[in-house]
Amino acid sequence: MTTYAAPIRDMQFVLHDVLRISQQDLPGHGDLDREFTEAVLDAAGKLAAEVLAPLNAVGDRQGCRLENGVVRTPEGFKAGFERMREGGWTALDCDPEFGGQGMPYVIGLAAGEMFSAANMAFTMYQGLTHGAYSAIHAHGSDEQKATYLPKMVSCEWTGTMNLTEPHAGTDLGLLRTKAEPQEDGSYRITGQKIFISAGDHDMSENVIHLVLAKAPGGGEGTRGISLFIVPKFLVNEDGTLGERNAVSVGNLEEKMGIHGNATCVMNYDGAKGWLLGELHKGMRAMFTMMNEARVGVGLQGYAVAEAAYQNAAAYARDRLQGRAVTGDANPSGPADPLIVHPDIRRNLMDQKSFLEGARALAFWGAHLIDRAHLAQDRQADDLVSLLTPVIKGFLTDKGFDCAVQAQQVFGGHGYIEEQGMSQFVRDARIAMIYEGANGVQALDLVGRKLAAEGGKPIMAFFEMVKSEIKAQETDEVLQAQFCEPLKAASKDLQAAAMFFMEQGMKNPNAALAGSYDFMHLFGHVALGLMWLRMAAASRKALEEGTQDATFHETKLATGRYYMARQLPATAMHLARIRSGAEPVMALDAARF
């Protein structure tokens, strides 16, 4: 059995020492002081550790079942979901006008990290609802908002996103689901959607499906796509539930992981739906929320890895095996704990130094989204749009790698399902795939985000790195241990961007062939920047005579590890990128 402890201390550090959120000018959020966020995070952490985490293995073992067309969630999920609702956790960062608590997204994300770490499959029911809530909040009519949002904020009704069809994954232009306009202003939706997370279940009264479909007159490809609200139960004018809509669960997928979440084939057989937003602008409406949704998946990647790491560290401290090469560390015992062995340390430090950097990056991304939404900060919006594919792609790839490394600490025991480490690996795997597979993130980054606004956001990022390095020029320790490695890594990133620009016109494949490496290169530079910020904050705290010197010294040592051991990857990625498209594209398709 695995356990989970909420990393509140580290979250508080990121929120207050690094992001300094109480000093930021977020309209309507003047009260985000240390005590307040600590109280919120403590309560969320308690729920995660005490209610959600114990349900994690249950969900994996039992999975969901389809019984007479209705999905049954694993034992205890329903009661757990009620606890979550009762605590107001589903409403945390929602609009007070519809019953939300109105906290910024960064606080919702922090709570979400703990919930996902404790039980990813369970937390997805709420996560999908939040996505659907955001789409209706942004694009719905007043009537639609009034009808759906209060119930979705409380998760009495949950939500889904229906994009994928059997023949249309990344390429949504191929989708076939049809929407036929009716005389009463509604549409009849007909088609099949697959991979619908939380598509049906027994924890809420209603499920509100957001469905991409083609309505007449929109033209070919993605231009013809509109977004529709299709509730499982139709809603009467007085808000009570009416008749069952013609949408049903065709099948429940057996998956590698996240067994506790119901991944459904959804059949729409002339189901009643209502247009959300503008006709034929469904793609745009769906993707308004993309940064938030993708940052949320990036978070899942490192959150599950955090849980895996905690268990690996505990096992490495407890399990006695072998002796330290530098002399017995536990002379009275039969052997030394695993953690004395340098290669076990290397493994754990890889994880720890990634995870803390990942948290800082995800929180920064969330904070930029807050700046964009609450303060209409255009630069923040541009920057987070640039960072989003990096947060999604890099954090989920590395998060999965960390979960694998955590499992490795257990040796053969890690391969046994009962131990729980396999579930972390299997669950973390999906985050690399859904919400845009990581190859698509790399394509988005290189094909779209790099050139966005004439390259202003990427230039702004480079300027930011430069000025933050410069700001530490009087601190020799930071210069040597953090600034110099970051400077070198950032240069590699600039050189890669330059290579793409030079090649861009004459050979578009060159940029695409290097896109995945670019995403990872960028990820390392971004985490390097996070570590410089965190190191600077810890140096400051130590200079000011903090009460918590151990925390800050640990932080500095962990950051030194990242800079010394992880950042050297940037040169490798640059070398790969510079080899260009030729080696990648040399073979005919038949020769594979």
Q: Of 51, 149, 225, 344, which lies in the binding site for a copy of itself, with binding defined by CB under 8 A?
A: 344
For residue 439, state whether it binds a copy of itself (rule: CB under 8 A). yes
Nearer to a copy of itself, 89 or 562 (CB): 562
Q: Of 326, 332, 467, 474, which lies in the binding site for a copy of itself, with binding defined by CB under 8 A?
A: 326
- Window of 277-285, 415-423, 450-458, 531-539 that interacts with a copy of itself by CB under 8 A: 415-423
- Window of 147-155, 203-211, 385-393, 553-561 that interacts with a copy of itself by CB under 8 A: 553-561
SS3 at position 211? strand
- Window of 233-241, 373-381, 439-447, 533-541 that interacts with a copy of itself by CB under 8 A: 439-447
- Window of 35-43, 83-91, 286-294, 552-560 that interacts with a copy of itself by CB under 8 A: 552-560
Q: Which two tokens stand for residue 245?
A: 């809509």
Q: How many residues bind a copy of itself (CB under 8 A)?
A: 95
Region 305-324 residues binding a copy of itself, contact defined as CB under 8 A = 313, 316-317, 320-322
- Cβ neighbors of 569 (< 8 A, separation 6 or more) are 520, 521, 524
Q: For residues 491 and 254, give the distance between their C-alpha atoms in angstroms, rounded to a whole number.
A: 45
| String marking each residue 151-170 x if it binds a copy of itself according to CB under 8 A | -------------x--xxxx
For residue 480, state whether it binds a copy of itself (rule: CB under 8 A). no
For residue 554, state whether it binds a copy of itself (rule: CB under 8 A). yes
Region 252-271 residues binding a copy of itself, contact defined as CB under 8 A = 253-257
For residue 348, state whether it binds a copy of itself (rule: CB under 8 A). yes
- Window of 44-52, 115-123, 414-422, 534-542 that interacts with a copy of itself by CB under 8 A: 414-422
Beta strands in 457-517 (DSSP E): none
For residue 506, state whether it binds a copy of itself (rule: CB under 8 A). no
Chain centre to alpha carbon of residue 453:
25
* 473 given a catalytic annotation: no
For residue 175, state whether it binds a copy of itself (rule: CB under 8 A). no
Smallest gap from residue 31 Cβ to a copy of itself (A): 33
Region 194-233 residues binding a copy of itself, contact defined as CB under 8 A = 194-195
Cα three-residue angle 359-448-442, rounded to 5 degrees:
50
For residue 512, state whether it binds a copy of itself (rule: CB under 8 A). yes
Cα three-residue angle 497-396-229, rounded to 5 degrees:
100
For residue 376, state whether it binds a copy of itself (rule: CB under 8 A). no
Nearer to a copy of itself, 417 or 476 (CB): 417
| String marking each residue 236-255 x if it binds a copy of itself according to CB under 8 A | -----------------xxx
* Number of Cβ within a 10 Å radius of residue 97: 13
User: Annotated catalytic residue: which of 435, 453, 463, 484?
Assistant: 435
Phi, psi for residue 273 in degrees, rounded to 5: -140, 160
Beta bridge partners of 229: 210, 274
Please check whether residue 242 is in contact with residue 236, taking contact to mean a CB–CB distance below 8 angstroms. yes
Q: For residues 581 and 592, give the distance between their C-alpha atoms in angstroms, rounded to a whole number.
A: 17
Pairing of strands 206-214, 157-162: parallel
For residue 331, state whether it binds a copy of itself (rule: CB under 8 A). no
Region 570-589 residues binding a copy of itself, contact defined as CB under 8 A = 571-572, 575-576, 579, 581, 583-587, 589
Q: How buried is 343 (Cβ within 10 angstroms: 0-12 exposed, 13-18 middle, 19+ buried)?
A: exposed
214-239 burial, b at 16+ Cβ within 10 Å, e below that, comes to bbeebeeebebbbbbbbbbbebeeee
Angle between helices 105-118 and 290-318 (to 10 degrees): 40
Q: Residue 448 corresponds to which amino acid? A: R
Total residues belonging to the chain: 592
Nearer to a copy of itself, 87 or 221 (CB): 221
Q: For residues 194 and 166, give the distance between their C-alpha atoms in angstroms, rounded to a whole number.
A: 6
Q: Find the distance separating the first CA and the last CA of the chain, reported in whole Å.
A: 43
Region 85-124 residues binding a copy of itself, contact defined as CB under 8 A = none
- Window of 142-150, 372-380, 489-497, 565-573 that interacts with a copy of itself by CB under 8 A: 565-573
Residue reference for tokens 């040169």: 571
Catalytic residue positions?
A: 435
